[in-house]
Amino acid sequence: MNERDSEIIYSLMIHKGYIPVKLYEDADVIIFNTCAVRRHAEDRVWGKLNELKGLKAKKARLVSGFMPTDVADRGVIIGLVGCMGKAYGKEVFKRLPHVDFVCGPSNIYDIPVLVEKASSGRRNVCSIARGSRSLDREKCSKGFARSLYLYREDNVSSFVNISYGCNNFCSYCIVPYVRGREVSRPREAIIEEVKYLVDKGIKEVTFLGQNVNSYKFPDRGSAAGKNDFVRLLEAVNNVSGLERIRFMTSHPKDANTGLFKAIAGLDKVCEHLHLPLQSGSDRILRLMNRGYTSGRYLKLIDDMRMIAPGCAITTDIIVGFPSESEEDFEHTRDIIDRIGFDSAFIFKYSPRPFTKSLEMDDDVPMQVKRRRNQDLLDLQAKKARENNARFIGNIENALGISPAKRPPDSSGDVSDCYIKARTRKNHQIVCKADRSLIGRVFDVKITGVQGNTLIGDMV
């Protein structure tokens, strides 16, 4: 979601006449789009912002007369936006007085106005309105959506938001407090956005939502009055020229066989399900307010594999949640071992502002968190190697994504042209192929594995 928000911010600024630059020293405006899910990410932002204090002072001196005004006609404007902006608000200015503006994730469309105010000399400009971002008809219109795609990181695949915010209030998670309550976008706006992207050459879209399974939006043409996520997938599956549909994230409490049948039956929906487990202990899951048991999760996986055999399954895990015992941890380890996820994001618990778990005693020592984290990383790496080895000899359908940064180590020929591609199951492949295949779908025979990357030859 932050990647898509960053593309929107770039697009908004480009629309106002700005151009991206690679170096801080060349910038008139520096914007940090932040995440507050983990403390480690926050600490990096605070550190980087503090480092820019010197650059701010240097540019201010240039403006004040040490250099001609045609060389530097103003100082650099620094903004902190996103989840940290919402979480800390005006406290940011007390901690870092050289920051010019702060903006929450629901207010990123205000950024050009905030920059303009800061440019005119206003200080401590702040936009952190409560609730989810505005989804009025103007912002969902074709023209507005198109203006938000002036900048894209990828010319083959694109993110598309289908909802904002979250209603789940997991006890460890700051998202509902900084991104607001869940709001679904109109189905017709999503479909028009996908059609626009396809017209611009996009072959693959990834639907984004804190919980895509709970997508619902009033539909005047539906007798039931609601559109759910599966109906959205069915509608977008009919968009001509689109090759693939992905989505994340699915919440286990709302996942069901209807979703699994859509994955199995809709030809453009990729066989990949990201289903966060978080913990294998029922006691910890209750403390996390996750709304399901480990048994329910395992039943979902069994159903998924029966309905859509071979579907890749990835997950999120938290270790060291308050009061997590060795027995609780072993339950998580056992489930990872049993399921054999294709990949997993594994994190050490850290307390977050506003959350219910902040009231709990963070009583698992850091050295224990590190040990458990590394234990699961090692186990998951082993499972991933086993899963990837099963692909050798298979023919996989792949979408060319970009030139490969480097050829496989075994090739011994750096002059050859290699491209990076992605399978329907979300595995990365490096194969020898002409760059004209970027943006096209083709078959690849898997010949080897390097790390988490498959190596293949065109068929």
Q: What is the CATH number of the domain that holds 99?
A: 3.40.50.12160
Q: What is the CATH number of the domain that holds 193?
A: 3.80.30.20
b/e sequence 31-54, b meaning 16+ C-beta within 10 Å: bbbbbbbbeeebeebbeebeebee
Q: Looking at the domain assignment, is residue 212 inside a domain? A: yes
Burial class (CB within 10 angstroms; exposed 0-12, middle 13-18, buried 19+) of 326: exposed
Number of domains in the chain: 3
- Which of the listed residues 127, 151, 181 is the one where a domain comes to its end? 127
Together in a domain, 311 and 375: yes
Together in a domain, 421 and 378: no
Backbone conformation region of residue 121, classed left if phi is above 0, alpha if psi is from -120 to 50, else beta: left
Q: Looking at the domain assignment, is residue 59 inside a domain? A: yes
Q: Looking at the domain assignment, is residue 301 inside a domain? A: yes
- Which of the listed residues 372, 389, 406 is the one where a domain comes to its end? 389
Q: Looking at the domain assignment, is residue 78 inside a domain? A: yes
Together in a domain, 122 and 215: no
The model carries a pTM of 0.89
Together in a domain, 371 and 406: no
Together in a domain, 340 and 416: no
Query: pLDDT of the chain along its 459 residues, tens only?
Result: 999 999 999 999 999 999 999 999 999 999 999 998 888 899 999 999 999 998 888 877 665 444 433 333 457 999 999 999 999 999 999 999 999 999 999 899 999 999 999 999 888 999 987 544 444 443 544 455 567 788 888 899 999 999 999 999 999 999 999 999 999 998 998 999 999 999 999 999 999 999 999 998 766 555 444 559 999 999 999 999 999 999 999 999 999 999 999 999 999 999 999 999 999 999 999 999 999 999 999 999 999 999 999 999 999 999 999 999 999 999 999 999 999 999 999 999 999 999 999 999 999 999 999 999 999 999 999 999 999 999 999 999 999 999 998 777 655 555 568 999 999 999 999 998 888 999 999 999 999 999 889 999 998
**Number of neighbouring beta carbons within 10 Å of residue 416:** 12
Together in a domain, 400 and 385: no
- Which of the listed residues 94, 127, 160 is the one where a domain comes to its end? 127
Together in a domain, 309 and 402: no
Together in a domain, 280 and 344: yes
Note down the domain range covering 33.
2-127
Task: Quote the CA–CA distance of 400 and 31 in Å, as a whole number.
Answer: 31
Omega of the bond leading into 257 within 30 degrees of 0 (cis): no
Together in a domain, 208 and 284: yes
Q: Looking at the domain assignment, is residue 29 inside a domain? A: yes
Together in a domain, 81 and 176: no
Q: Looking at the domain assignment, is residue 377 inside a domain? A: yes
Together in a domain, 94 and 193: no
Q: What is the CATH number of the domain that holds 406?
A: 2.40.50
Q: Looking at the domain assignment, is residue 156 inside a domain? A: yes
Q: Looking at the domain assignment, is residue 132 inside a domain? A: no
Task: Quote the CA–CA distance of 354 and 6 in Å, as a whole number.
Answer: 25
Sign of CA dihedral 8, 267, 312, 324: positive
Together in a domain, 180 and 38: no
DSSP state of 306: H
